[in-house]
C-alpha cells in the first residue's frame, strides 16, 4: 500500500471511531433528557404520608381515628398518581423514566395500603365474643387493686364515696 492510501485508511478509521463516540454521547444525552417521573414518586410519597399521618396525627382524634376517612381520602390521589406515572413510563419511555422505579414503588405503595386496610378492617376487630362480659343489671364483683402509687383501692370504697363509678378497662401499654 502506498503512503497516501495508508493515510486515507487511517483517517477513515479515526473518523468511524469518532462517530461511534459521538453516537454514544448522544444516546447518553438523550437518556439524561428523559424526564424524571415525578408522578410515581409523588404517588409513593402521598401513600406513605397517608399511613404515617394516621399513626402520628389522626389516631389522636376519635373523629379521624374511628373511621380513618382522611387516610382513605389521601389514598385516592396516591393511587391515581402512581397509575398515571407508571402508564407514562411505559407508553412514553423516550420521554419519561420510571420503567423500573414505577412498578417497584407501586408495589410497595399498594402493599402498604393493603396492610393498612387489613389492620383497620380486620385485625383491630378480632375480639372475643361480647356475650362473655357482665351485662347491665348484674352485680359487679367487688375487688381491691393497687393504684398507680401502689395503694390498694377497693371498688366498695369508691362506691361509698360516690354515686357511681365508671370502670374503664383498657389494653395497657405493656
Q: Which residues bind another protein (CB under 8 A)?
A: 59, 62, 65-66, 120, 124-125, 127-128, 130, 132-143, 145-150, 153, 155-156, 158-174
If the CB atoms of residues 1 and 133 are measured against another protein, the closer one turns out to be 133
If the CB atoms of residues 5 and 152 are measured against another protein, the closer one turns out to be 152
CB of 67: closest distance to another protein in angstroms?
Answer: 9
If the CB atoms of residues 83 and 153 are measured against another protein, the closer one turns out to be 153
Quote the CA–CA distance of 53 and 75 in Å, as a whole number: 12
Quote the CA–CA distance of 73 and 50 in Å, as a whole number: 9
CB of 129: closest distance to another protein in angstroms?
Answer: 10
CB of 61: closest distance to another protein in angstroms?
Answer: 11
| Angle between helix 69-91 and helix 38-56 axes, rounded to 10 deg | 160
HSE toward the beta carbon, residue 128, CA cutoff 13 A = 3
CB of 74: closest distance to another protein in angstroms?
Answer: 18
Quote the CA–CA distance of 145 and 140 in Å, as a whole number: 15
Closest CA to 70 of 36, 46, 34, 86: 46
Residue 137, sorted as left (phi over 0), alpha (psi -120 to 50) or beta, turns out to be left
If the CB atoms of residues 2 and 66 are measured against another protein, the closer one turns out to be 66
Amino acid at each position: 500500500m502506498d503512503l497516501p492510501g495508508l493515510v486515507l485508511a487511517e483517517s477513515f478509521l479515526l473518523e468511524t471511531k469518532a462517530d461511534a463516540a459521538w453516537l454514544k454521547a448522544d444516546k447518553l444525552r438523550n437518556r439524561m433528557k428523559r424526564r424524571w417521573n415525578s408522578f410515581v414518586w409523588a404517588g409513593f410519597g402521598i401513600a406513605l404520608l397517608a399511613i404515617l399521618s394516621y399513626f402520628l396525627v389522626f389516631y389522636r382524634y376519635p373523629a379521624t381515628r374511628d373511621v380513618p376517612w382522611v387516610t382513605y381520602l389521601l389514598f385516592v390521589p396516591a393511587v391515581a398518581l402512581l397509575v398515571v406515572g407508571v402508564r407514562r413510563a411505559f407508553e412514553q419511555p423516550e420521554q419519561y423514566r420510571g420503567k423500573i422505579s414505577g412498578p417497584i414503588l407501586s408495589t410497595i405503595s399498594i402493599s402498604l395500603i393493603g396492610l393498612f386496610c387489613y389492620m383497620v378492617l380486620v385485625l383491630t376487630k378480632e375480639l372475643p365474643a361480647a356475650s362473655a362480659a357482665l351485662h347491665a343489671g348484674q352485680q359487679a364483683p367487688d375487688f381491691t387493686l393497687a393504684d398507680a402509687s401502689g395503694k390498694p383501692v377497693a371498688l366498695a370504697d369508691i362506691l361509698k364515696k360516690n354515686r357511681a363509678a365508671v370502670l374503664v378497662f383498657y389494653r395497657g401499654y405493656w
